[in-house]
Amino acid sequence: MSDYTESSEGRSHDNKEDTGQPMRRDGGAEDAGIDSTEGELAKPKQRKIFSFIFRFAVSVLLLLWIFKSVNLGIFEEVVVSPKILPIIAMIGFSLFYVYLGGLKLWVLFRGFSPISLRLFTGYFFLAGSVGSLAPAIFGDFTMVGLARRNLIPVHTSVSAILMDRFITMVIALFIFTPFTLICVLPVKPLFIVALMGILALLLGCLIWGAVRFAPSLFDKFSATKMFWQSFTLYFRGDRKDLYTNILIGSFRGIISGLTLIFALMAASVSPPFFSTICITNSLSILTHIPVTLSGLGIYEGGGLVLFEALGLNREQVLAGLFYQRVYIIIWSLLTAAIWGVVIAVKRLKKGAARL
C-alpha cells in the first residue's frame, strides 16, 4: 500500500516548482493501476466461488444417485431408530480421532515452535471444524492463520501441514488400501501386491525427482526457498518427529475404522472388523479428491460400493454413514460456535482493558 496521501499531495502542490520536467505521477495511470489490481484480486474470488458451486453441484448429484440406489422406505425405518450405545461410542472415538490428528501434526510443529499441545489442539479442532464444513483447504488456511498468532511463519506451517498430509495419504494408500482391494476384488492377492509395488516404485521416482530438481526451482523466490528448507528438515538429521508422526498416524487409522464400525453398529449392522478398518482408510483417500465439499457424497458413495461388495445391506450401510456425517456437521458447527464465543470474549476483555 502506498504512503502517498491526500495531505502530502496538497503540500506538494503548494510547494511545487516548474522544473521543466514531465510530471512523475499521472492520475489516469494511477487509477488504471488500481483498477488492474482490483481486477486481479477479483479473479481469485471468482475462482473460489466457481469452485464452491462446482463442488456443491457434484455433491448434490452424488447424493441424488446414492438415495436413488437404495430403498428409501427401508432406509427411513433404519435411520430413525439408531442404537444409542454405539452412537455414544462413535462420538467418543471420533473425538479421540480428531485429537490424534492434532497430536501428530503438533509433533511436526514442535521442532519449529514451542507451542503447547493444549493450545495447538484447540487450534486443530477449530481448523478441523472449518475443513469439515467447507473445502479442506479452508481448514488448512485456518490452521496457518492461527499458527501465525503464535509467531509461526507461514512457510513453516505449510511445510508441516503438507508433510503430515503426505504421510497420511501414504499410510492409507500403501498400508490399508491393499487389504481393502484384497477383501473386495475377486483377484489373487499377489496381483494386488504387485500393483502396490509398482505404485510404490512410481512414488519413489517422483520423490527422487522432487528432491533432485526442487532446490533449483524453489531457490528462485525467498518464500519458496524457506518453505523447501523447512520441508526438507524432516528428512535431514534427527527423524524422530517424522517417525513419531508415522506411528501416531497408523494408530489413528485404526481409530478411524473403529469410529465407522460403531456408526454401522448403530444401524444394526455387524461389519467385519479388519475389512472395515481398511475400507475406512481407503475412503479417506477419496475425500482428498477436490471435487466435492469435504468429501460429501463421494465418501458415502464409495462406502456403499465397498461394503456392498462385502455383502452388507445398502440401506443399513447408508444409515451408518448418515449418522457419521450428521455427527461431523453438528460437531463442526458447535466447535466453530464455541471458538467464536471465546474469541469474542477475549476481544471484549482487551477492549475493556484499554478503556
Which of 96-110, 137-151, 222-236 has the highest average model confidence (pLDDT)?
96-110
By CB atoms closer than 10 A (0-12, 13-18, 19+), residue 340 is exposed
- pTM for the whole thing? 0.80
Whether 164 is in a domain gets the answer yes
Q: Give me the amino acid identity at 239.
A: R
Task: Tell me which residue range forms the domain holding 216.
Answer: 80-347
Q: Give me the amino acid identity at 310.
A: L
More confident residue, 48 or 35: 48
Residue 57 clears pLDDT 70, i.e. is over it: yes
Portion of the chain with pLDDT greater than 70, in percent:
79
Whether 69 is in a domain gets the answer no
Non-local CB neighbours of 219 within 8 Å, separated by 6+ positions: 225, 228
Whether 45 is in a domain gets the answer no
Distance (Å, whole) CA 31 – CA 36: 9
Q: Span 31-43, mean pLDDT?
A: 49
- The string of pLDDT tens digits covering residues 311-331 is 999 999 999 999 999 999 999
- The string of pLDDT tens digits covering residues 169-218 is 999 999 999 999 999 988 888 888 888 889 888 888 887 777 677 666 66
Whether 7 is in a domain gets the answer no
Is residue 171 within 8 Å of 119, Cβ to Cβ? no
Per the structure, the count of domains in the chain is 1
Q: Which H/E stretch holds residue 151?
A: none
Whether 353 is in a domain gets the answer no
Q: Cα separations (Å) of 15 from 10, 12, 21, 25?
A: 9, 5, 15, 16
- The region of weakest confidence among 35-44, 93-102, 283-292, 344-353 is 35-44
Q: What is the pLDDT of residue 11?
A: 42
By CB atoms closer than 10 A (0-12, 13-18, 19+), residue 150 is middle
Distance (Å, whole) CA 62 – CA 292: 9
Give one DSSP letter per residue of 180-214, joined into a string: HHHHHSSS-HHHHHHHHHHHHHHHHHHHHHHHHHH
- The string of pLDDT tens digits covering residues 108-163 is 888 777 788 988 998 899 888 888 877 677 787 888 888 887 778 887 888 888 88
Model confidence band, residue 224 (pLDDT cutoffs 50, 70, 90): low
Q: Span 338-349, mean pLDDT?
A: 82
Distance (Å, whole) CA 257 – CA 247: 16
Whether 202 is in a domain gets the answer yes
Whether 133 is in a domain gets the answer yes
Whether 23 is in a domain gets the answer no
